[in-house]
Amino acid sequence: MADSYLVEPDVGFIMEVSRLGGADLKKCFQCATCAVACPISPDTKPFPRKEMIAASWGLKDRLIGNGDVWLCHNCGDCSTLCPRGAQPGDVLAAVRAATVIEYATPKVVAKMVSDPKKLPILLAIPAVIFLVVGLLLKMVGVNWLNFAPTGDHLWQADYIGNYLVDIIMIPTFFGAVGVFALGLKRFLCDMHANAVKEGKTDKEKIDPVGFVQALIKTVPTILTHQKFNECSENRDRSTAHMMVLFSFIGLFIVTNCFFAAEWIFHIDGPYRQINPVKWLGNISGIALVIGGILLL
C-alpha cells in the first residue's frame, strides 16, 4: 500500500508567499513545463513544479529548509514558458524571502525589509540610534561633532567623529555577524534534516569536513556565474549581478585594509590618491552603483 501523507495546509504561509511576490501561485495546474524549461533543474529531482504544489497547499515544512529553492537564481525562463502565468520564478523568490524571515532575528525587522512601505521606518532606526548615542556622548563630554574640519581633514567631510562611528558600527558589525551565523546554522540543520527525510543522506549530522569540501567546490561556479549564464530569458542580469558581487568583495577588502591601517598600524588618513587600496575602493564603488542601477 502506498504511504499516506496527511496534508496540513498553513494558510498563513500561503498568504505570506503571496504577499512576498508569489500572488499567482494558485494559477498553477501542474503541467510541469517549468521543471522541463529550467536550465539548472536536475533530472532526478526536478523543480520548480513540486515547489509550486507545496506552496499552493501551504506546506511550509517542505519549503522552508528546502535546498532546491536556493538553487534557483530567478532567471525567469520558467515564468516565460508557464502556460498559466503562475510565475514560478517569482514564487520561488517569495519562498526564499519567507525563508529569510523565518530564520532572521528579530523577525519584525526582517518583515520590514521585505515591505517597501516600511522603508522610511528602516531608515529612521539608524538615524535615531546615531542621534541618541551622539547625545549621550555629548552628555559625558565627548565632542563627536566637528562641523569645521581643518588642515589635512578639510577635504574629508570629517564631520562625524570616530567615537560615534566606532561605538555604533563595531557592535553592529559583530551583532550582524552573530545573528547571521545563528540563522545560517538553524537553516543548514533544517536543510540536512530534510535531506535525511528524503533519503539523500544517511548521516544524522552534518559532516563538517564534507561540508567545507562541498562549499569550496561551489566557489568557482559562484565567481564565474556559470549557472547564471545558462539562462536564456535574463542572461544579461548576470553581468549586473557580477558587478555587485565583486564590488562588495572589493569594498570588504578596502574596509579591512583601512581598518588595519588605522587601528593596528596607526597610519592615519588622509591616504594618497595613488594608493592602490583607494583605487580598489573607487572602482568597487562605481561598479556597485552601475551594477545596482542595472539590476533595478
Q: Is 164 in the site for ligand SF4 (CB under 6 A)?
A: no
| Neighbouring C-beta atoms of residue 193, cutoff 10 Å | 15
Closer CB to ligand SF4, residue 59 or residue 254?
59
Q: Among 54, 59, 64, 82, indicate the residue that binds ligand SF4 (CB under 6 A).
A: 82
Q: Considering only 45-53, 104-112, 144-152, 286-294, which stretch makes contact with ligand SF4 by CB under 6 A?
A: 45-53
The closest of 225, 245, 222 to 235, measured between CA atoms, is 225
Q: Is 69 in the site for ligand SF4 (CB under 6 A)?
A: no
Half-sphere exposure of 227 (CA within 13 A, CB side): 17
**Smallest distance, ligand SF4 to C-beta of residue 3, A:** 23
The closest of 21, 22, 52 to 34, measured between CA atoms, is 52
Q: Considering only 66-74, 131-139, 191-199, 285-293, which stretch makes contact with ligand SF4 by CB under 6 A?
A: 66-74
Q: Considering only 6-14, 47-55, 188-196, 272-280, which stretch makes contact with ligand SF4 by CB under 6 A?
A: 47-55
Binding to ligand SF4 in span 193-232, by CB under 6 A? none
Q: Among 14, 20, 75, 104, indicate the residue that binds ligand SF4 (CB under 6 A).
A: 75
Closer CB to ligand SF4, residue 187 or residue 228?
228
Q: Is 259 in the site for ligand SF4 (CB under 6 A)?
A: no
Q: Is 50 in the site for ligand SF4 (CB under 6 A)?
A: no
Q: CA–CA separation, 258 vs 162, rounded Å?
A: 14
Kindly write down the DSSP assignment for every residue of 127-189, as one continuous string: HHHHHHHHHHHHHTT---B-SS--GGGGGGT--B-HHHHHHHHHHHHHHHHHHHHHHHHHHHH
**Smallest distance, ligand SF4 to C-beta of residue 69, A:** 9
User: For 267, phi and psi rounded to 5 degrees?
Assistant: -100, 105
Closer CB to ligand SF4, residue 65 or residue 89?
89
Q: Among 15, 32, 108, 212, indicate the residue that binds ligand SF4 (CB under 6 A).
A: 32
Closer CB to ligand SF4, residue 231 or residue 287?
231
| Neighbouring C-beta atoms of residue 26, cutoff 10 Å | 14
C-alpha cell at 223: 565567481
Kindly write down the DSSP assignment for every residue of 50-96, as one continuous string: HHHHHHHTT-HHHHTT-GGGGT-----HHHHH-TT---HHHHHHHHH
Closer CB to ligand SF4, residue 29 or residue 174?
29
Binding mask 86-125 for ligand SF4 (x = CB under 6 A): x-xx--x---------------------------------
Closer CB to ligand SF4, residue 82 or residue 240?
82
Q: CA–CA separation, 21 vs 113, rounded Å?
A: 14
**Smallest distance, ligand SF4 to C-beta of residue 251, A:** 28
Q: Is 80 in the site for ligand SF4 (CB under 6 A)?
A: no
Q: Is 77 in the site for ligand SF4 (CB under 6 A)?
A: yes
86: which residues sit within 8 A by CB, 6+ positions away? 24, 25, 26, 27, 28, 52
Q: CA–CA separation, 76 vs 62, rounded Å?
A: 22
Residues that bind ligand SF4 (CB under 6 A): 28-34, 37-38, 40-41, 48-49, 52, 72-78, 82, 84, 86, 88-89, 92
